[in-house]
């Protein structure tokens, strides 16, 4: 892409991870620092926004300092600062944005606003060094389930998205209903390993004539099933319920992805978002992609969940496109993208 080494400092604070990283030329990770709040929020069964914001305030500058130190660079030696501007928790985002704006103003470096979901997609450029657009992307996270075409490094076309609950949200809510600790997705997967995915025939909601998703009905069906079986004292196996629920979600995601592969003719599909760490989903989607004549790419586990490496990678390609953000202090405190 370019002969000169471009170093991007990435900052991520959209939910309950305070993260910073330095990425060189969009493909080389010089540092990756993540301060997680999982243990803080676990006692509440989910993320408490006010607590998350306060923890970000405590950790954001030490995390940034460590990322620069681990990379062996000073702030003056980075070429730009990339930061998540959304979607996410407003208060949590504001902490990272404020830190990034202050560093950009103080150092004179350009500021780049990165869409969190685009960042997840771009983590796949580290998983597959040969990956180039165009390709399909399936984003599966706590707040989003989307299918899109990545037409080039800065052009995205949405094919479909969730109309209600996201897949990750359904995982978390069912886990909470079953009394499993936060975060719920990995706990459901752990429980499902010892269950029969065909034990309960949960619905596979597939909206006709589109690529959209809907998981609220499935979530309700699982809750009703568990509640009924507990009332009957039937001795049902929680492992079977978890495995059948997980299988229903995976079946829908694979089916929609296969439809998108056939409709677009694209030969690569990438998996992105926190739920992309689910091994059963990875295996089923890889098999479904192969059956449709395509190949699956997914990030390493550490890059599936929220991190700043993905923000740095996405920020690099925006840097090449001169896609910088405004630093006008008189503007709204949220990040304002340039024209």
Q: pLDDT tens-digit profile of 258-289? A: 999 999 999 999 999 999 999 999 999 999 99
Q: What's the token pair of residue 239?
A: 């492992």
Q: Which residue has the tokens 């990435």?
A: 10
Per-residue model confidence (pLDDT) at position 331: 52
Within 10 angstroms of residue 339's Cβ, the number of other Cβ atoms is 3
Residue 335 pLDDT: 47
Query: What's the pLDDT tens digit per position in 77-104?
Result: 999 999 999 999 999 999 999 999 999 9
Residue carrying the six token digits 């040969």: 130
The pLDDT of residue 329 is above 70? no
Q: CA–CA separation, 327 vs 271, rounded Å?
A: 33
What pLDDT, on the 0 to 100 scale, is given for residue 328? 65
Express each pLDDT in 94-153 by its tens digit.
Answer: 999 999 999 999 999 999 999 999 999 999 999 998 999 999 999 999 889 999 999 999
pLDDT band at 42 (very low <50, low <70, confident <90, very high): very high
DSSP alpha helix (H) spans, the chain: 38-42, 49-71, 90-107, 116-122, 124-127, 167-177, 184-192, 216-232, 238-264, 279-291, 301-304, 309-320
Tell me: pLDDT of 337 over 50.
no
Q: Taking the model in full, what pTM does it have?
A: 0.92
Residue 205 — very low, low, confident or very high, per pLDDT cuts 50/70/90?
confident
**Residue range 138-194, pLDDT digits in tens:** 999 988 999 999 999 999 999 999 999 999 999 999 999 999 998 999 999 999 999
**pLDDT tens-place string over residues 218-264:** 999 999 999 999 999 888 899 999 999 999 999 999 999 999 999 99
Given this model, what pLDDT does residue 333 score? 44
- CA 104 to chain CA mean position, Å: 25
Contact 215, 250 (CB under 8 A): no
């Amino acid at each position: 892409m370019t002969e000169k080494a471009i170093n991007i400092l990435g900052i991520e604070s959209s939910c309950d991870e305070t993260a910073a990283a330095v990425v060189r030329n969009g493909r080389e990770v010089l540092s990756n620092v993540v301060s997680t709040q999982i243990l803080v929020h676990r006692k509440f069964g989910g993320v408490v926004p006010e607590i998350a914001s306060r923890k970000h305030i405590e950790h954001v500058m030490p995390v940034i300092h460590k990322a620069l130190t681990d990379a062996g660079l000073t702030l003056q030696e980075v070429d730009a600062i990339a930061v998540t501007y959304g979607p996410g928790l407003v208060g949590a985002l504001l902490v990272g944005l404020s830190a990034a704006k202050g560093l950009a103003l103080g150092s004179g470096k350009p500021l780049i606003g990165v869409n969190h979901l685009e960042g997840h997609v771009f983590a796949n450029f580290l998983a597959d060094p040969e990956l180039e657009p165009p390709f399909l992307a399936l984003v599966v996270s706590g707040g989003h389930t989307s299918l899109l075409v990545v037409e080039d490094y800065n052009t995205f076309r949405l094919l479909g998205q969730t109309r209600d609950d996201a897949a990750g949200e359904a995982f978390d809510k069912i886990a909470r209903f079953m009394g499993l600790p936060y975060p719920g997705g990995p706990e459901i997967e752990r429980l499902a390993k010892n269950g029969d995915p065909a034990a309960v025939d949960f619905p596979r909601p597939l909206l006709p004539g589109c690529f959209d998703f809907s998981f609220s009905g499935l979530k309700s069906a699982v809750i009703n099933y568990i509640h009924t079986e507990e009332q009957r004292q039937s001795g049902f196996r929680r492992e079977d319920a978890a495995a059948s629920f997980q299988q229903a979600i995976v079946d829908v995601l694979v089916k929609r992805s296969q439809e998108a592969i056939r409709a677009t003719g694209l030969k690569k599909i990438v998996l992105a978002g926190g739920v992309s760490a689910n091994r059963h989903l990875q295996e089923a989607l890889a098999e479904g992609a192969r059956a449709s004549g395509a190949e699956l790419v997914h990030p390493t586990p550490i890059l599936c969940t929220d991190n700043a490496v993905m923000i740095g990678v996405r920020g690099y390609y925006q840097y090449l496109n001169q896609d910088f953000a405004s630093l006008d202090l008189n503007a709204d405190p949220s990040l304002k993208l340039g024209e």
